[in-house]
Structure 1
Amino acid sequence: MPQTPTLDDIRVDFDAPDNVPKDRIVDLTFAMGSIPNDLVDPYEPCGWLAGPEIPRLLFNPPSRQGLGAISGGQRGNWVVTHYEDINRVYTDNEHFSNKGTAEFQRLIGETFPSIPLAIDPPEHSKYRLFLTQFLGPATITRVMEPTIRAVLDEMIDEIADKGEVDMAWDFARVFPVRIFMGMMGFPKEMFDDFLEWEWNILHSGNLEKMQWALSSVLKFLRSFIAEKEKNPDEFLTSSIVHGKIQGRRFTEDEKIGMVWFLWLGGLDTVAATISQMFRRMALQPELQRQLREHPALINGAVEEFLRTQPILSSARTATKDFEWHGIQVKKGDSFSCLNPAGNFDPARFENPREFDPTRKGNRHFTLVGGVHSCLGGHLARRELRILLEKWFEKIPGEFRVKPGADTSVYPGLLSIRNLPIVWDVQNR
């Protein structure tokens, strides 16, 4: 594929449904995060898809949908790439449904929904409201921030005088999972099992491994829920198990649906974001200097790191027949919102490829949008902000990629497996 492709370069032949114009059928494999590159801005290859000359609805054949969510789409899926259209899909609950999204448990015959992700309004709000009381900004400040700071003090102090760390494997993979496991009350000894199960479910692409991991984690979670039924504590799993909604206790499906969804979403996304964030700063040391010298920019920088590192693209399903941009959409059609294009839409973001920690109105889609915006978004932001504050406080020297290390990255959830970075200890 040319470095700057056109639609003609990615058009393919496919026996698509009757409502799909032939000129909209394209191979978007390169934009789905499953092909690594070594660019400073690894999402650059698909930013052009938000250009004004690109049709507002494209269609991706099923064999080229990449590692997307489990949400149907065996016939292929519509792909929206412009900010305005992505925003509609995320916020128009009358025409677009989240039911069935990321329900990997179906692969082993489970029928409980992932709650609240796969629940549509108006039912969605009651579950969201219940969980938000534990994940809102005030609760994070009061309950979780001291733990976040303590864990970061411990982890950074442990490596500061060594002058190097594998930022992806030994730090980013560990830090947010420690916070998550502590929040849920999960036993520390499950750390390695959790990450192995999660890797096989989300990244192996092997049905047998996925089914083994799903069976293993759901067996553990159900056992853990049963234990909390008998022995409640102050952690989130217990709060769910003993919680009420509209005056009634949760059903068994509701309990496992919430605990499972939090487990699935709590292990990978922040880790991937941290790895890409430190890779970007290592390859662009001027970003380090800017944040070290002006710590007041850290909050804005976190939003820019999120905007420029959209690790997920979310799916929805059409709830009815309707016309959109001259296309006859059919009930049941699958839609994928290509956040790595929408986050760089020049119609929404001035100089979209520029990393600007002073950017105003930075309403990106990395944490999705609408009622299904990331439930853990406040926690993720706090973890990233405190990490940067602590890092520049404790390691004042400039860090860089260890000579000879591979800096390739999957521009998506698969992200970076290893990222060895080094710094001069005498600068401490």
Structure 2
Amino acid sequence: MASLAQRCPVARAGADAPPAPAHVPPELVLDTRFAAGVVPNDLVEPYRPMDVVREEDFPRIHYYPWPISGNQHGAWVVTRYEDIRRVYEDNALFSSEGVAQFQALAGETFPSIPLGIDPPDHGRYRKFLNPWFTPVAMNAREPRIREIIGGMIDQFAASGEVDIAYEFGRVFPVRVFLDLMGFPFTMFEQFLDWEWNILHEDAIEKKAEALRGVLAYLRGFIADKQADPDDTLGSYIANGSIDGKQLTEDEVIGMTWFLWLGGLDTVASTVSQMFRRLAMHPELQTQIREDKGLINSAVEEFLRTQPLVNSGRKVKRDFEWHGVQIKAGDWVSVFNTSGNFDPDQFECPHRFDPARKNNRHFTLAGGVHICLGAHLARRELRVLLDEWFDRIPHPFRVKEGADTTVVPSLLSIRNLPIVWDAEAAS
């Protein structure tokens, strides 16, 4: 049988890779960038290349030397569903301290709250924020979400064409988020520019410059809300207290910053990949259009098959895992890009099943740190499918000649023009 290196696009990290810590066995320092969600492809199933990292003779844990999970260093990587679940759920061994700590590049020391806080303090912050993100809260917000989505679709329905990624997907969820927080829509383009540089710019100084810009804006926003409170989430945080104690400056900026970071791109990227799949599979459009009872489970399947973020955790103590010595202070990254397709958890994992049951994927993370905005994301996607198939009731497709390349991660598709028979739709 051919060796793993012969069969698969996996090799030891080259001389251009950052150095690994001395305790990492050299044979486990592998170049799995193709599975990390950072290498673009134009496959109908963009996450297919990740299958190789679950093969029987692929190491259960390996070392990825490049910066990952918002850090500026490498990490151990697990790729199987059960190992990923352990990282998310074992809070005694794996810490969230320092996760998504981009602000450190600008010299800031406040944590990203609540993600960067371990239990039990994490629970206090989740309890404070949760009332804004419950299903009941989403019921109250749904009319506004529906108004935004329906109004935007009506603007282009008769034209028979829209860039679903740039003109729609990147806009509507941000409008919903800006409404929720109380940010002015005039900051839309500036926000996305800052975020793009933070997440995708390689030059550290450009990242730091964007961070300084957004944090200066957010601190001014907080001061305005403290001087003139209103009924928005931004004001609630700026003037908040927990157990009768006023939030500190670090707590206020930590929450405001983290919600800003998480509120701009996850749904936008999901929408782009969702419509790419729908446009390439007209039979799936027909199935959902003719049975809207599938929308809720279809949204879960879109989420499962489009894992955007590979999360990281810091190891609290030395331990051995799959025969490998892991040291306190090491980082472990989970490849949700692989775990969401683990056949030990999901039957026929690459078959898109809009009626799939017990769909316990990791796209929205897991354990106590499961995504705070999960209910909001789901509600936005469900309302979108409902409104879309009502207002554009005929098949759509990718515009001829359009680039369908995907970077299987955040901000994954910049442009995706789709077309339909506008005369029939009207």
TM-score range, shorter chain: over 0.9
Question: Do the aligned residues in 2 keep the contact of 1:301 with 1:356 (CA within 8 Å)?
Answer: yes
The question of 1:422 aligning with 2:419 is answered: yes
Aligned AA (2:170): R
Cα contact 2:222–2:234 (8 A) shared by 1: yes
Shift of 1:176: 0.2
What's the CA shift for 1:36?
1.0
Q: Is the 8 A contact 2:4 2:57 kept in 1?
A: no
Partner of 1:114: 112
Alpha carbons of 1:91 and 1:219: their partners in 2 closer, same or farther (altered >3 Å)?
same
Distance 1:8 1:222, change over 3 A: closer
More divergent stretch after superposition (15-24 vs 145-154): 15-24
Would the alpha carbon gap of residues 53 and 358 (structure 1) be closer, same or farther in structure 2, given more than 3 Å must change? farther
Contact between 1:184 and 1:236, CA under 8 Å: does it hold in 2?
yes
Q: Give the aligned partner of residue 11 of structure 2.
A: 10
Partner of 1:40: 44
Return structure 1 stretches of 4+ with deviation > 3 angstroms: 2-9, 12-19
Distance 2:23 2:109 in 1: 31
Q: Distance in 2 between matches of 1:290 and 1:259?
A: 40
For 1:292 and 1:183, locate their aligned partners in 2 and report how far apart those are by CA, in whole Å: 30
- Aligned residues of 1:78 and 1:333 also touching (Cα < 8 A): yes
Q: Does structure 2 retain, via aligned residues, the 8 Å contact 1:33–1:414?
A: no
Alignment-mate amino acid for residue 88 of structure 1: R
In structure 1, what is the Cα distance between the partners aligned to 2:90 and 2:7? 30
TM-score by length of 2: 0.95
SS of the residue corresponding to residue 111 of structure 1 reads coil
Contact kept, 8 Å, 2:340 with 2:361, in 1: the verdict is yes
Counterparts of 2:50 and 2:326, CA distance in 1:
24
* Letter of the structure 2 residue corresponding to residue 70 of structure 1: G
- Which secondary structure state, in structure 1, belongs to the residue aligned with residue 325 of structure 2? strand
Matched, 1:168 2:165: yes
Q: How big is the shift at 1:403?
A: 0.7
The percent of aligned pairs where both chains have the same amino acid is 57
1:380–1:321 distance in 2 versus 1, CA, 3 Å: same
Choose which of 231, 235, 238 in structure 2 pairs with 1:238: 235
C-alpha change, 1:13 and 1:216, in structure 2 (3 Å) is closer
- The amino acid of 1:354's aligned partner reads R
SS in 1 for 2:159: coil
1:89 paired residue number: 87
Deviations 1:286-329 (A, max 9, x none): 11111111111111110110000001100111000112122221
Structure 1 330/402 Cα, relative in aligned 2: closer, same or farther at 3 Å?
Answer: same
Residues 89 and 6 of structure 1: CA distance in aligned 2, closer, same or farther (over 3 Å): farther
Looking at structure 1, the residues matched to 160 and 349 of structure 2 have their Cα atoms a distance apart, in angstroms, of 34
Give the RMSD, CA atoms, in angstroms: 1.7
Change (3 A) 1:51 1:347: farther
Task: Report the Cα distance in structure 1 between the residues aligned to 2:407 and 2:237, rounded to whole angstroms.
Answer: 35
| 1:98 paired to 2:102 | no
Aligned to 1:60: 64
Measure how far apart 1:239 and its partner are.
Answer: 0.6
Corresponding residue to 1:261 among 255, 258, 263: 258
Contact 2:268-2:411 at 8 Å conserved across structures: no
Residue 365 of structure 1: aligned partner: 362
Q: Note if 1:228 corresponds to 2:230.
A: no
Contact 1:31 1:45 in 2 (8 A): yes
Matched ranges for 1:125-204 at <5 A: 125-142=123-140, 144-204=141-201
- Bigger mean CA offset, 9-18 vs 173-182: 9-18
**Structure 1 residue 13, shift from structure 2 partner:** 6.1
Deviating more after overlay: 299-308 vs 25-34: 25-34
> Is the 1:50–1:83 contact (alpha carbons within 8 Å) kept by the matching residues of 2?
no
**Which stretches in structure 2 are left out of the alignment for 5+ residues?**
none
- The 3 A distance-change label for structure 1 pair 17 and 192 is closer
Count of matched residue pairs? 420
Superposed, which structure 2 residues align to 1:289-304 within 5 Å? Answer: 289-304=286-301
Give unpaired runs (5+ residues) of structure 1. Answer: none
SS of residue matched to 1:38 = coil
Is 1:356 matched up with 2:353? yes
Compute the TM-score of the two structures, normalised by the length of structure 1: 0.95
